Structure formats: structure tokens, C-alpha cells
Amino acid sequence: MSIVQHLINGELVAKGERTADVFNPSTGQAVRKVELASRATIQQAIDSAKAAFPAWRNTPPAKRAQVMFRFKQLLEQNEAKISQLISEEHGKTLEDAAGELKRGIENVEFACAAPELLKGEYSRNVGPNIDAWSDFQPLGIVAGITPFNFPAMVPLWMYPLAIACGNAFILKPSERDPSSTLFIAQLLLEAGLPKGILNVVHGDKEAVDALIEAPEVKALSFVGSTPIAEYIYAEGTKRGKRVQALGGAKNHAVLMPDADLDNAVSALMGAAYGSCGERCMAISVAVCVGDQVADALIAKLEPQIKALKIGAGTSCGLDMGPLVTAAARDKVVGYIDDGVAAGAKLVVDGRGLRVSGNEDGYFVGGTLFDKVTPQMRIYKEEIFGPVLCVVRVSSLEQAMQLINEHEYGNGTCIFTRDGEAARLFCDEIEVGMVGVNVPLPVPVAYHSFGGWKRSLFGDLHAYGPDGVRFYTRRKAITQRWPQRASHEASQFAFPSL
């Protein structure tokens, strides 16, 4: 069985340390092993980055951008292989994997604009013979810790921009599906990135803690569950690091009585059941304003959910693959059991699904609950599976109160034809990313991604303009050249114009 190795200083490194199995979720079989880094291995990666950083920092941004242009081309040329690796280890369909990669490539395209993004500001004659300007300089060594659900896209949110800004980067991807992440990193080296600027180390909590505690690591980016996001933010900031930690979500879709219901149903099907619900932007709650809307919605959803094409992710033409691990499957099934016990109406039951030829895969079918209340666990907690809950309310104001009182504030959307209702919703909802007739309002690469409340710890969102600010620090320079013939007396008052 092959072993997924670390990438340190441009070379694949096998340390012979602890390993973990990497499974194909469609079959339930281990397909390879992955090394789990010790603190010594993390330090080796840090030392490599530290040695490579000075030369890269002084590399002109235009030359850094040229590397990113070549990287983009290689990603596009290798789309089929990358999608296959994602699907084989994560379980998502090939089409979904290709879509993930395309959204990641958008962030590489944004990083190609480094010469423009890093331009400072300049003011002449802010005082007598005094000029002032600001400069955006790299932090040094920065690190990213990324989740299993987007092994290509989320790392591409981080290191292309960080590297284009002049930093050296250490990536700790999920150990559950590491192969596509490692392959993509190797493509960046092929594009001309100097050795040591990007290092990939696999691992578990030992590796995470080593990155948090290392004084050489100046900033940490994280995407994952809220408890771990909060831990990384607390421990990282305590040590003086800059941290952006994106956590969990419970995303609501509000359906107004005037909504285009057919289009809303199509949107909800993809948003709730795409990638088996393993998305931090997945819609897991449909808030229906009025019983008539709820009844009509369920009548249209039920047959479509039952007709979902589910199978091995590496097959073509599917709607949904398996969950990533047996533990993830069992957790989702446990939530469905809990919803039934709490009194929610189970309209479509995804438990017990068996896929012919893949009986040992980690499958759960699309599940739909009606008459869910805010007191139920299936409403309050992030299920991270193919489960959609319908909550009934009597007004838009009640729907908004429901959303605003939830501990998470990642994404939300409203389906309506009423511009006044949409404007009120966008203005008053306490959520970081909002869609109007758009179920997954994931910002494009030249905006920034991030939620509110317990969905994000830190002041700056991921990628886009906030990403540039996160991976750089501003230096303000004030310069004066007095005229040679003049002599000025000392000033003891605070200087001003």
C-alpha cells in the first residue's frame, strides 16, 4: 500500500513515523496510508521555509505572479487527475470535484494580480519637503490548516495569495483525503516556485499544536469545526499570532410566499444535498413563511429527494456520493434518529441506504424533516450531512429573528420576488454571507469569504482583499530631505502642519 509523504524543501519525505489509513468512502476500503508528522518533522518544514523566505520576499511581485500564471495552467491541464483523487478519497462526485477545483483556480487567478494588490499609497508634500507612503510587506512564515470537505479549494484559498504576497507557507491538510492536496502542491513546484516556499506536512493534533506553538509561524489560517476554530484562535492569539479561524455553520434559506417555488426547489436540492451536505455553506434549514409555502415545498422536494442518483463518487452522472468516513455516516444517522425521537416529522428517510456493488460504502440517502422546532438538536447543531430541516413561521420578521438568534452566522439566503423584503433581509440579517435567490452565496475570489458570530474567529475574512491584508503588514514611511542652505530650530511641540 502506497504512503502519502510530506513535501519539505521541494522533496517528498518519508519519516517512518506514525501513519493513518486513507479510505475510499465509496468502498469502505483503505487505499493508501498517510504519514503523521511529529514535532521534529514540523520543525524541519519550518526551517526549510525560514531558509527560503528572504530570497522570495525580495523577488519582484511580477515574477511571483508569473509562477502563479504557470500554476493556473497546470491545474487546468490536470483537472481530470485532481478530480479523480478528490473523489477517490473524499467521495464527492467527479463533477462536484471539478467544480471545487475551478473555484480554487479562481483564487490563483486573483493571486496573479500581486503587482497590483501590493501597491502601496503615496502622498507628496504632506508637510514641508516631507513625503509619505505605505508599503505592504510579507509576514514571513505563515501556515494553513485545512478541512477534508474541500481538499483542493480551501488550500487554494490560502497559499497562492500568501505566497504571491511574499510569504513562505506551511500547509497541514486533512489526513483523511491528502493525495489531491499534495499533488496540487507539487504542481506549484513544477510551475517554478523555489524549494521551501511551500511545504506540506500531514498530521493530527500533534502537528497542529506544533504549528500553533512555533514562534517562527507568524499567522495561522484555519477552516473546520467551531470547537477547533475557537481552540486555534485562542491558542494562536495568546502567542501573538495573527489568526483567521473559520468554523461551523447552520445555514437557513427563507422561502417567502411570493417565491418562484420551482426554482427555489431546484436551488435547495443542490444546496442541501450536493457533496452529501458536507459543505460549510450547505443549506440545512428551509424556513417557510406560512404553512401553504411549507406544504408546497415538501410536496415538490419529496419526489426529487427520493429520485437522487447516489453511488460511488468516481462514477459519472451522479447527484451524490458517500460521506467521508464511517464515523461521519454514523454521526449523521444518529442525528436522524434524534430528530425522530424529538418529534420532527421524517418525510424522507436516508438511513439504511445500500448501493449495489458498494455495500460497504459510507452512504446515507437524502433526508427531509418537517415541523422542526428551534429546540431540537437537528436544528441547533451542524449535521454536516444530507439532511434538510423545514421550519414553519408566520412572517419574515419571525424568520429573521430565528436566524439572528442562532449561534452561527455563516451563510443564508432568501427566495422572493419582493425587492423591499430582500433589501430588509440583507440589511438586518446577522450573517456574513447573504444570497437573494442564490442558495450558496460563496463570494467570488476578488471578494472575501467569512461568516459572523461563532462561524468566524478573527477580524479578517479569507481570500480576496481581506486575504491580502491578512498575509501582509502595513509599514508607513515618512521621509524628509531638508534644503541644504536652511537651518531649522528644534521643535518641542508635537509636530503638525
Which residues participate in catalysis according to the annotation?
A: 280
- The answer to whether the CB of 65 falls within 8 A of the CB of 114 is yes
Amino acid at 340: V
Residue (of 226, 242, 243, 232) closest to 209 by Cα position: 232
Q: Which three cell numbers stand for residue 265?
A: 426547489
Q: Are 448 and 197 in contact (CB under 8 A)?
A: no
